[in-house]
């Protein structure tokens, strides 16, 4: 009930801003998302608004959008992380909602050449040359974590994935993941001691499907944590504090060029939304300078 009231207040605040701003209200999930998307929007035509809350900023963003749509409020668009939406057939299509191409913003960054630029800056050229493909290594290690997160959602297990200690189940030298150690670590974090390790391992195998795109299964935050371990040993020699996940995500955002964004599906969807909702504009044109 409190969450609904909060969404109502957010929607009402946006309605009140309409008297002083005639452009688009772009809803995003967090402050880092705001920083990222503001690089590409036409600021005099688009106001980026952070919608944060529990249990999920994504759910709250959709709730705020739904309230405004029911009141026929024009010029509002929301961008949310896809999470597992692209893998689930029951997800509704919402005209004023755009989902990330991959699981989340961070996976979009890692899929792009921004990753190559960061690795070249922070990694060891000699170690990188000897190491197998870094993206493949990240995805291979991240898939079991992603599947377990998905299973927790589907089966309502309420497992905890915050503040995981990745070094306890991932080898820094090879970036290979020990699935048994992963399951035990998450069980300990979640205090879910009644769950059996073998049952969770079986569920992971059942959920696996070769048709699943790893970029949709893996959570970007998890992949960045794995990358942090890699830069300490497998592909670099950095001190842990210098390649913490938050710092790496910032480096990836800074390395991400506008040309990468223009090649994404999310860019195409926003352009289509602009065409369907004149005179509202979200993105900068080629003539707009930084």
Contact 247, 118 (CB under 8 A): no
Strands 76-80 and 46-50: unpaired
Give residue 1's pLDDT band: very low, low, confident or very high (50, 70, 90): very low
Q: Beta 76-80 vs 24-28: how paired, if at all?
A: parallel
Note the pLDDT tens digit of each residue in 137-148: 999 999 999 999
Which tens digit of pLDDT belongs to each residue from 169-183?
999 999 999 999 999
Rounded to 5 degrees, φ, ψ at 80 are -130, 160
Residue 56 pLDDT more than 80?
yes
Q: Which residue reads 């969770």 in tokens?
A: 200
Q: What is the pLDDT of residue 32?
A: 95
User: In this structure, which long-range contacts are made by residues 283-286, counting pairs with CB atoms below 8 Å and at least 24 apart in sequence?
Assistant: 283/40, 283/41, 283/42, 283/46, 284/40, 284/41, 284/42, 285/42
Count CB-CB contacts under 10 A for residue 162.
7
Q: Give percent of the chain with pLDDT exceeding 90.
A: 92
Vertex 28: Cα angle to 24 and 29 (nearest 5): 165
């Amino acid at each position: 009930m409190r969450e609904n009231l909060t969404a109502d207040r957010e929607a009402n605040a946006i309605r009140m801003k309409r008297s002083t701003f005639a452009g688009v209200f772009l809803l995003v999930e967090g402050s880092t998302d705001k920083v990222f998307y503001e690089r590409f929007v036409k600021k005099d035509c688009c106001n980026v608004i952070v919608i944060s809350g529990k249990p999920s900023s994504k759910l709250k963003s959709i709730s705020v959008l739904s309230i405004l749509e029911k009141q026929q409020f024009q010029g509002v668009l929301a961008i949310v992380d896809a999470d597992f939406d692209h893998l689930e057939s029951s997800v509704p299509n919402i005209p004023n909602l755009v989902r990330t191409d991959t699981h989340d913003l961070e996976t979009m960054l890692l899929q792009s050449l921004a990753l190559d630029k960061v690795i070249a800056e922070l990694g060891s050229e000699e170690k990188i040359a000897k190491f197998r493909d870094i993206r493949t290594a990240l995805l291979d290690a991240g898939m079991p974590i992603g599947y377990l997160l998905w299973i927790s959602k589907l089966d309502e297990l309420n497992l905890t994935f915050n503040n995981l200690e990745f070094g306890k189940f991932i080898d820094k030298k090879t970036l290979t993941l020990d699935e048994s150690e992963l399951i035990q670590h998450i069980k300990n974090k979640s205090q879910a001691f009644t769950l059996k390790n073998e049952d969770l391992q079986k569920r992971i195998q059942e959920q696996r499907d070769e048709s699943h795109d790893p970029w949709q299964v893996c959570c970007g935050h998890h992949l960045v944590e794995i990358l942090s371990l890699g830069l300490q040993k497998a592909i670099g020699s950095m001190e842990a504090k210098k390649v913490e996940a938050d710092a790496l995500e910032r480096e990836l955002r800074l390395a991400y060029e506008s040309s990468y964004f223009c090649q994404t599906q999310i860019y195409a969807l926003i352009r289509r939304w602009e065409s369907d909702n004149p005179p509202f504009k979200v993105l900068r044109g080629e003539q707009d300078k930084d």
